[in-house]
Each structure stands twice: as C-alpha cells, then as structure tokens.
Amino acid sequence: MSQGRRGRADTSVLYFFFKFIVFSIIFFVCAILLFQVLLLQNTQALVCAVSSVQQYRSMPTHGIGKYRHLLPKALPKKKKDRVQVKQIKAATATEFGVFNVCVSGYDMTLVEHYSQYIHNLCNHLDIKVDESYALPTKSTEVMVMQEQGTKMYLDAVLKTHERIVQISEMKATLFPIFMDVVLKNQPEGVRFCVKQHSETDFQARFKTRPELEGLLAKINN
Amino acid sequence: MAAPFSRVYRPLWRIITTSTLNRGVRNVSSSRQQLSAQNVKPAGAASPWALHGAVCVQRLPAVSQDRSPIEEEFMELMHQKDVSSSERCLADSLILLVKKHVGSQKLWLLPQIQWQTGETLRQTAERALASLPGADLTATFLGNAPCGFYKYKYPKDIQKEGSVGAKVFFFKAVLPSHKHLPLEKNSFAWVKKEELQDFLKPEYLKQVRRFIMAL
C-alpha cells in the first residue's frame, strides 16, 4: 500500500515536474515572442535609423524637428597638404589623354567668357574637365620712340590674360566636332590653342622658391 | 560673341548619336591595325567597296559683327557673286567644292581621292587636298576620326564582281585665316551651307549636310 502510495507520490512528483517544465517552456516562448513584438514596435517608432539618441520620451512626436543626424558628417578641417603631382593619363587608341585648351588675349572679358563657354560646352557634352585655371597675367610695355631724339617713353601697357581648360579622356570621334564648334565661335582678338599637357606645364604654375634653390645649390656645391 | 546654345546643340547631338560615327570609328581602328599588323586580312577576302578619303576644307568666318547697309551693298558688288573667291561672305564659314569627272559626268564634290593600301584614311584625305590642281592649300586637320560617310554604287554597266561601289569618308580641316589663294574659276567654289544645294546632288548633299555646321 505504501508502495502504491509512494508510487502515486512518485508519479505525482514526476507529473508535477513535467508540468513545470512544460509551463516554463511555454512561458519562455511567449516571453520571446512578446519581446520581438515589442522590439518591432520600437523600431517602427524610430523614424530614421542611425540615431544615437534614445527615444525615451513618451510623445510619438518627440524629436520631430531633428535634422542634424540627416546631414553628412562634417570632417574636421585638415591643413592643406602639398599639392601632389597627378598621374597624367596617356592616350589610348580611341581617346585622347590629357590636353590643355589655352585661351589668351588682351581683352579680359572676352577671354574669360570664351573660356567659360568652352567649359560649359564640355559639361554639356559630358566631356571630363579636370581643371580650369588661369595663368598669371603678363604685362607688355609698349615703348614709343620720341620724334626728336633717341629716348623711348612708355606709351601703353598691354596685359595678356590666359585661361586654361584641362580636358581628359575625350573620345577621338568627338574631337573634330568639338574643335569645329569652338573655332567657329572664337571671338576676334582671342587666341586659341590646344596643347598636350606635360609635367613642365604643371610645374610652371608654382612659384619659385629662391631661398630653397640657393640652399640646394650650396649643398650640391 | 558666344553663339546661343540651342542653335548649335540640337544638330550637334544628332551628329554625335548617329551610327555613321560608329562606322567611322571601326574604320579608323582597322586602318591602324593594317599599319601595325600587316597580314590581318586573308588574301582573297577583299571587300567589293572601293574606299575614298575626302576632305571638307573650311574657311572659318573672319568677322563676327553684322555689316552696315553700305558695307552690304559694297560686298554684293564686289565678291559675293564670285563663287571661287575665298574672301566672300566673311561672316560665314565656307566649304571648298571641286568639279570632278566621275565616270562620264562632271560633278561638284568635296575633294576626294582613292585610298591606297598601307596608308590611313586621314593620309588619303591629306593627299586629296594636296593633289588639287593649282591650289597650294595647307590646312589643319581636326582629328584622326572621320566626320561623315557616303556610300554609292557604280552604275550597272561598270559594276564587276569585285567592285560594287565606293565608300567615301570625310575629314574636317580648317584653313589658316591669313592665307587667301586665288583658284581657278570653273573648277573650284567656296560655298556656304545654304548654297550647297545648288551644287551637290541630293543624295550626296543629304550626307554632307549632316556634318557641316553653319555656326
């Protein structure tokens, strides 16, 4: 009898244990599901991802005016490094390499407008413009000889302005058309030429440093 | 004075996106291959089309301002009607046309000459310019790629098995502005784009018009 009772007690304990396990499993599963549901609701509440600020206020419109997190990250300003020499691309069979279109003349408005016209033309035709810069103005003094005597005096100063538009990777088939358009719209008094870009052209833009050169000469000597 | 964009760019896009230029690119690269690797084509597969190179020499406009009425009348009296003078119509760009025997007829054409093996089409065009009788023109060629193309078949009685017709590739060139050379009246003409229709045959004109820009 006691055995029976013990057996019954045993089975009841076992039964109880079994029930406990089942209920615990159910409880955990429900908890997980609930947690996921809550998480989903949370992510739906957060309008734009990538925000480090936690939405802990209860109003759904909390933080509605925030925009700083939408702007691109502004990097801290670096000090200007020395300008590196860019690799000059070589010409292939169907494309030109890097070449400079030089526009020069005495009248600055004409020269500027013509170079701007060429630049806009390239943009419109999807031609890659690497750089568009101006070379320093060169002054030419016009000296006139006096009527009686050998002395020359200054009559006028002519300033030559020069603008360069650097073009790279232009297709060879487009080049004659481009040249035709540019030549036909060349204003009077403006000189136009197309030159291959070279290392010397690049270096000519920099100022010379006489002290450095003097010191280098001293070291070499 | 910069030309307004709309006038120039509509025909420009039509020129760029047509298939003639693609054909031109293929031909340019194949002629270069012929120079570098001599035995690309097998011996027997010559195409039935003879190749010609032609040059479209332009005298660019020298003046951009409109003329006053007195100047207009003066120009009309002096040079306008003389088609062979290269100093007419200084405000427009002019193209050189040559009267040439083609088969049995005399036709007005852009100067062209047959292509010879071993030279690029651009060299053919340069030869065409240099071989013009009486004219000592040195023009600057704008690029190695042709700008236009015209294909015509020979009349039936001349057609043989090996030759069906000819294909002409046009190259653009520009005259230096300070040179003005007198040319023979009857065989040379400097014409504007509007006057081309009085000189060229309609089919030829249709192809030539596509690459000539009137400012």
Find the range with the poorest average confidence among A106-110, A214-218, B120-124, B181-185.
B181-185
B71 has a pLDDT exceeding 90: no
- Per-residue pLDDT at A44: 57
Q: How far is CA B29 from the centre of its chain?
A: 21
Q: What is the pLDDT of residues A26-39, one digit of tens each?
A: 999 988 888 877 77
Domain spanning A98-209: CATH superfamily: Ribosomal protein S10 (3.30.70.600)
Residue A8: pLDDT band (50, 70, 90) is low
Cβ contact B108:B99 at 8 Å:
yes
Query: What value, to the nearest 5°, has the Cα angle with vertex B134 and ends B129 and B139?
Result: 30
Dump pLDDT digits (tens) for B155-202: 887 777 778 888 999 999 988 866 666 666 678 888 888 888 888 889
Where is B129: in which H helix or E strand? helix B121-130
Beta strands in chain A (DSSP E): 98-105, 128-145, 152-168, 190-196
Q: Are strands B140-141 and A152-168 parallel, antiparallel or unpaired?
A: unpaired
Rounded to a whole number, what is the distance in angstroms from the first to the last CA of chain B?
Answer: 12
Best mutation target among B12, B120, B212 (most A Cβ atoms within 10 Å) is: B12
The shortest CB-CB distance from A176 to any of B1, B93, B145 is to B145
- The C-alpha atoms of residue A96 and residue B22 are separated, in whole angstroms, by 17
* A155 alpha-carbon distance from chain centroid: 48
User: Looking at the partner chain, which of B15, B28, B60 has a beta carbon nearest the beta carbon of A184?
Assistant: B60
Calpha distance A122→A103 (Å, rounded) = 15
- The pLDDT-based confidence of B24 (bands split at 50, 70, 90) is very low
Q: How far apart are CA A187 and CA B63, in angstroms?
A: 9
| B147's tokens | 């700008």
User: Which pLDDT score is estimated for A212?
Assistant: 92
C-alpha distance from B150 to closest chain A C-alpha (Å): 17
The yes-or-no verdict on residue B72 having pLDDT over 90 is: no
Instruction: Read off the pLDDT of each residue in A67-75 and give the average, rounded to a whole number.
Output: 87
Partner-chain contact B147 A187, CB within 8 Å: no
Containing B5, the helix (H) or strand (E) segment is: helix B5-16
Shortest CA distance to B49 belongs to which of B166, B168, B155, B157? B166
Cβ pair A183:B174 closer than 8 A = yes
Which of B25, B145, B213 minimises the CB distance to A180?
B213
Predicted confidence band at A102 (pLDDT cuts at 50, 70, 90)? Answer: very high
Q: Give A74's DSSP letter.
A: P
What is the residue extent of each domain of chain A?
1-51, 98-209
Identify the pLDDT of residue A157: 92
CB B158 within 8 A of CB B173: no
CA dist A197 → A84, A102, A166, A190 (Å): 16, 11, 8, 21
Spell out which residues of chain B touch residue A174, defining contact as CB-CB under 8 Å.
16
The token duo for A89 is 């691309």
User: What is the CA A200 to chain-centroid distance, rounded?
Assistant: 26
Minimal CA–CA distance to A163: which of A189, A192, A184?
A: A192
Q: How confident is the model at residue A121 (pLDDT cuts 50, 70, 90)?
A: very high
Cross-chain Cβ contact A176/B172 below 8 Å:
yes
From A172, A175, A187, residue closest to B1, measured CB to CB: A187
Average the pLDDT over A139-148 and give the result. Answer: 88
Average pLDDT score over residue span B3-17: 45
pLDDT band at A127 (very low <50, low <70, confident <90, very high): very high
Q: Hey, which residues does B106 pair with through a beta bridge? A: B101
What residue ranges in B60-156 does DSSP mark as E strands?
94-102, 105-109, 112-114, 140-141, 148-153
Beta bridge partners of A171: A95
Is a pLDDT exceeding 70 seen at residue A195? yes
Min Cα separation B69/chain A (Å) = 22
